[in-house]
Structure 1
Amino acid sequence: MEENKNFSAENQNTIHPKNNLKVTCGVLGILLGYLGIHKFVLGYTKEGIIQLVAFFLTCGISGIIGFIEGIIYLTKSDEEFYRTYQQEKRPWF
Structure 2
Amino acid sequence: MKSQVSIAGNNEKTEDKSIGIIAYLTLIGLVAAFIMNKDKNNEFATYHIKQSLGLCLVGFAIFIVGLIPILGWIISFLGSLFLLVFWIMGLLNAINGKEKPVPALGNKFESWFKNM
Q: Per the shorter chain, which TM-score range?
A: 0.3 to 0.5
TM-score by length of 2: 0.41
**Higher relative contact order at CA 8 Å, sep ≥6: structure 1 or structure 2?**
1
TM-score normalised according to structure 1 size: 0.48
